Structure formats: structure tokens, C-alpha cells
Amino acid sequence: MPIARAQTMSAYKEAYKNSIENPEEFWFEEGKRLRWSKPYSVARDCSYAPNNHHIQWFADGELNVSDNCLDRHLDNLAHKTAIIWEGDNPTESKSISFGELHQQVSKFGNVLKSLGIIKGDRVVLYLPMIIEAAIVMLACTRIGAVHSIVFGGFSPAALASRIQDSQAKLVITSNVSRRGGKAIPLKDNVDQALSLPGTDSVKNVITIQRTQEKTTLQEKDVWYHDLMAAAESDCPAEPMNAEDPLFILYTSGSTGKPKGVLHTTGGYLLHANMTFEHIFAIESDSVFWCTADIGWITGHSYVIYGVLSNGCTTVMFEGVPTYPQADRFWQVIDKYNVTHFYTAPTAIRSLIRAGDEHLRTSSRDSLKVLGSVGEPIDPASWRWFHKLVGKGRCPVVDTWWQTETGGILITPLAETTPLKPGSATFPFYGIEPAIVDSNGQEIENEGSGNLIIKQAWPGQARSLYKDHIRFLETYFSTYKESYYTGDGCYRDGDGYYWITGRVDDVINVSGHRIDTAEIEAVLNDHPSVVESAVVGFPHDIKGQGIYAYVILDPQVNTVVTASDLNTWVRQRIGVIASLDKVHFTANLPKTRSGKVMRRILRKLAGGETDNLGDISTLLDPTVIEDLKKEIQ
């Protein structure tokens, strides 16, 4: 039997100990949370040994994700609301029951088949937060197609590179996306992306008509509504092997090329399903609102899969926190009696900035649990969230995890774990974190270092799409037989974990992971740029801002401004990579071996000009003085 929700810390500790000491037995029982068309005989077959690295969960079992999210609930919950949709404009909203969603998903499963999409084919989704996005995701899982969602804020070039890498057969988009009262031309972006080389794998584009705005259809284009009108509604869920690919999600690495993180079917769904119920203390009448976009892993696991597989109502919000006014989140909470509200520190910080006035127009009395994800939450923002938004009644679960981890790994259990503002507290069941110093030596008890995870867990990524070697190198080569997170962490004397941020060249801007090397590569492509170095610096709202040091080519006579370079980057990556500061300079601090000393650039960008640490290996220390003067 799967374990019951821990009501006390001693119950949590006991179950946790068992999950670590007897992982096979523990996960064998937890696997029963899902419906299997063919039961598994073994839960866990994992080894991180370099010569025998493999991660397999429930490997001889078969199941289907859409069956678990929909069909499984039809006997009891067919009329229950599955999704409440709130449009960008407050006058637009609708909802769909589990029964209706099942029907729409089945129809779209048939649409996919009619376009020749078969099990294992990749389908790229470039969509706003609309109900159809959920329909399309679930329909892919129903027939065994592998979805790869590209966040709508990415540029046509970034979309094209993800299409190229995944060799997708189909792209699904909408004519526009509406955010903050503005229309974003998603379909035009797709057209531009498909005009770029390497995108010929795409045979069709399905467009959802989000608004009546005029849309020009190309040769490969088909309207979603036309296809759906002609589709049959009977589409049996394809039995999938637990280790069959479920989705690819591209995320930033630290080497300039986005990584296609690959998740598989059984382990991922189990992890999303179990963490959701236990961490958020979900009840049968909960209304769960996660504000993340489906283009990110949080949207996958806690807008769609974890929520629907538990038969819980999920809220999908198309808009932004401050449109039409700063009270929008609170209005939506009251409108739908939201019980669980899960958001990002950057949104909390921007609302703190807007003053407390906006909290007066709502009661938020329906709230029971608050959650935070995406970046470290500072204690002051945590307290504001707890005291003002939740009126001191609702626990705040600060959940630490990553695209690669599939679901939450370090977190409080709502209503059970004693909280410390700013700490993600303790590991979830089956998760064995450790803190190691730069020599790989494990730090026992209190101390800081790099965070690694020792044991395998069901929801973890299995590979990087078509690049398993990079997968092994990135996550399993830094520390012996452990998963390397790339995050720094402090464990206090009470055993609480405090995530301190990335220790690699990835920066976290408004909760979005950005690879500094990717921005540098784009900047270096500019005809006037000779070299660049991009680092993060502390930013009041975004958590980290993007600081670009740029050396211009003296031979090129064209005048290039910071704004030109910003536009250049936004066009090639997307708005999320907007440069906050551009620092034109003549030299970068380099070691004798020619490596840029990023540690120094980070400190200078953060306004720290004194304690720069060891600069004895610098080729030319005068560069530092020049940079300091320029900053002043």
C-alpha cells in the first residue's frame, strides 16, 4: 500500500528512513498510486556506476499518462471540474470537466493519428496558457507521441533550434497569445522559425484560433477547430512501457547549447503524482493554482500531470500578475475559491514592490497552502507572502527542484514540517541529498557546499535527447556515483537545507534558467562584437539580472549601443534573455591560460570592488582597475 500523508514529523522521519533504506520495497508500493495496464514486477533497477550507468523504474510495467489523468477518474469524477481557465482579460473564463476533457483529448488523439503522428514522434507545442494546451499535451501522451513544449517567450530562432534538435514532425501553436492586454504573434513566429534551415522535419502546423485576429495560413497549416470538428471521440489510450519517452523539455545548460531533458512515462508520473498530494496536502475539494507557464517544468508537473492524475481541479491562467491591476492574483483566488496557490519569488517580489494596497480588494479566505518555486526566496518575501497573502494561516512550502528532477525533491510537507522562512527544509521520500566540498568530500551535519543527490529516484531525467554522453558528463561525472545539481546549499544545525543558488554558469532570471554561454555565443555573433562575458548580478525583482561585458571591434565603424545589443539578443533567444546592463570595455580579466575569470566579473557586476579574491593568476591585473573605473 502507498504510504499515508505524514501528519507528524516523526511519521515523516520514519517513512523517510524506510524510503532510503528499502527503496525497492518503498517504490514498489508507491507505484500502486498509478493505474497500470500491465503491472510491473520490479520497481527499481538503477546504478550510477560509470561502467554500468542505468536508470530504470517499473521497467516491465505498462501504463498511459492520459489514462491516469482522465479515464481513471471517469467513474467518480466525470462531472468534476478538471480545469478552470482564466483568460488574460478578466471577462474571459471557462472550465472543463474531467468527462469533457477526456472527450476532447480523445478527439485530438485521433487528429494526431490522422496526420500520421505515431508513437515516439516528436510534437513541438508553442502555445499560450489555454485549455487546448492541456488537451494537446494529454493527447500526445494518449497516443505515445513525445511532446516538447517551447515557452511562448522564446524567439523564432530559439524555437527553430529546438525543432531542429528534436526533428519534430508537427508544430502546434495558436494564432496569438494574449498577455497583459497585448497580443503576441505566436503563429508568425512559427512561420519565421520554419523558414530557417533544418526545420524540414515539420510536416504540419496546427493552429488554434485564440482570437479573431486575421491569420495567414501556409501550405502546411491546418486549423485546430476544423480538425476537431471531423474527429471521432473514441481513442483508446496506448499502453506505454514505463520507460518509454514522455516528453522532452529544453533547458539551459552551461555550454551554450540548450539541453533536451528527456523524461519517461512511469517514474515521472509517479513522482509528479506523489509529490503533489503529499507536499501540498491535497484534499478532494482542493482547487490548485500554479502560476507557472506550461513551457516550464513546473507547468508540466504542477499545472497538468501531478494535479490531474490526482483528480484535482487545476487553474490555468493566461495572463500576468499585474494586469489589469496588481490585485489580479488575489481576484482570481477569490473568484474560484483557490485553496492552493503556488508561485515564484519573482512574482512575489514584484507584488511587494506594488505596495500592499492591492491586497485590500480580496479576502483570500479560501487559501490553505502557499507554495514557492524557481529560485531562493528571501526571508522578507517569504514573510510577506505568509503574513499578508495567507494572513498568517497558510503554510508556505518552499519547494526546491529542477527541470531534470521531474518533480520536487527538497521541501516542507504542508501542515507537517515546522518552517523556517527561506529554507526548503527537508528531502522528500526517497531523496538522499548530500553536501560536498570542492574535493568531493561529503560534509556531515552543518555546513555549505555543492548539493548532490545520492540515490536514484523515479522522476529523474533519463537522458538528454540524442546526447546521452552529455547527460552522463553533466550530471554524473563531477561527483562519484551521484547526481550533481549545480546548486550550492547550506545545511544548518537542525538539518534544514537552504539552497543558495547556482554554482555553475547558469543564472536564474525571474525564476528562468539562462545559460550565460548561450547569450555570449549570440553576442559574439554580432558583427561589431569581438568578445563578451555574461554574468548574473543581484536584481531586486528578477532575483538575478543579466550583465554583459562587451568588447567591440575597433575596426567596425558602425555605432553600436546597449539597446542594439539587447534587441539582437532578444531576437535570437527571446525576451527572457533581455540584457539588464551592457558594459563596454576594452579587455576582460583573463588567466595566463586565456580563461576569463568570471568570478571577478560576477563580483564587479554585483558592485563589489574590494574583496575580489585571488587575482595572482591574472595575465594583466591592470584590467581590473580599468573595469572598476568604468563601473564607477
Residue least distant from ligand PRX (Cβ): 403
Query: For residue 424, which phi and psi values (nearest 5 degrees)?
Result: -80, 0
Quick one: 403 or 585, whose CB is closer to ligand PRX?
Answer: 403
DSSP tag of 254: S
* Measured distance CA(443)–CA(428) in Å, rounded: 20
Contacts of 212 (CB under 8 A, 6+ apart): none
CB of 211 to ligand PRX, least distance (A): 29
| H or E, element range at 172 | strand 170-174
Which of the stretches 272-280, 396-404, 524-532, 607-615 binds ligand PRX when contact is defined by CB under 6 A? 396-404
Residues 509-538, interacting with ligand PRX (CB under 6 A): 513
Fill in the per-residue mask, 246 to 265: x = in contact with ligand PRX (CB under 6 A), - = not in contact: -----x--------------
Nine-digit cell string for 599: 568570478
* Measured distance CA(289)–CA(623) in Å, rounded: 50
Quick one: 121 or 518, whose CB is closer to ligand PRX?
Answer: 518
From residue 296, give the alpha-carbon distance in Å to each of 162, 420, 513: 14, 27, 10
The single residue among 23, 376, 390, 395 that binds ligand PRX, judged by CB under 6 A, is 376
Fill in the per-residue mask, 278 to 307: x = in contact with ligand PRX (CB under 6 A), - = not in contact: -------------------xx---------
* Measured distance CA(498)–CA(3) in Å, rounded: 27
Question: Does 499 interact with ligand PRX (rule: CB under 6 A)?
Answer: yes
The single residue among 62, 71, 293, 398 that binds ligand PRX, judged by CB under 6 A, is 398
Quick one: 475 or 568, whose CB is closer to ligand PRX?
Answer: 475
Quick one: 483 or 549, whose CB is closer to ligand PRX?
Answer: 483
Query: For residue 63, which phi and psi values (nearest 5 degrees)?
Result: -160, 175
CB of 584 to ligand PRX, least distance (A): 30
Which of the stretches 189-197, 398-406, 456-464, 580-588 binds ligand PRX when contact is defined by CB under 6 A? 398-406
CB of 363 to ligand PRX, least distance (A): 28
Quick one: 77 or 436, whose CB is closer to ligand PRX?
Answer: 436
CB of 82 to ligand PRX, least distance (A): 23
CB of 317 to ligand PRX, least distance (A): 17
CB of 352 to ligand PRX, least distance (A): 18
Question: Does 375 interact with ligand PRX (rule: CB under 6 A)?
Answer: yes
DSSP tag of 505: S
Question: Does 401 interact with ligand PRX (rule: CB under 6 A)?
Answer: yes
Question: Does 508 interact with ligand PRX (rule: CB under 6 A)?
Answer: yes
Nine-digit cell string for 257: 547549447
Say if residues 33 and 2 touch (Cβ distance below 8 Å).
yes
The single residue among 104, 155, 215, 399 that binds ligand PRX, judged by CB under 6 A, is 399
* Measured distance CA(431)–CA(445) in Å, rounded: 17
Angle at 302 between CA 297 and CA 304, to 5 degrees: 90
Cis peptide before 324, with omega less than 30 degrees from 0?
A: yes
Residue 216: Cβ-neighbour burial (10 angstroms; 0-12, 13-18, 19+): exposed
Which of the stretches 52-60, 142-150, 229-237, 495-503 binds ligand PRX when contact is defined by CB under 6 A? 495-503
Cis peptide before 39, with omega less than 30 degrees from 0?
A: no
* Measured distance CA(535)–CA(601) in Å, rounded: 7
Contacts of 78 (CB under 8 A, 6+ apart): 97, 98, 99, 102
Quick one: 59 or 396, whose CB is closer to ligand PRX?
Answer: 396
Query: For residue 563, which phi and psi values (nearest 5 degrees)?
Result: -65, -35
The single residue among 102, 328, 386, 502 that binds ligand PRX, judged by CB under 6 A, is 502
The single residue among 6, 186, 373, 452 that binds ligand PRX, judged by CB under 6 A, is 373
Please report how the helices 622-631 and 598-605 are oriented relative to each other, as an axis angle in degrees rounded to 10: 20
Which of the stretches 63-71, 221-229, 479-487, 547-555 binds ligand PRX when contact is defined by CB under 6 A? 479-487
Neighbours of 295 (CB within 10 A): 23
Binding site for ligand PRX (CB under 6 A): 251, 297-298, 373-376, 398-403, 424, 485-487, 499, 501-502, 508, 513
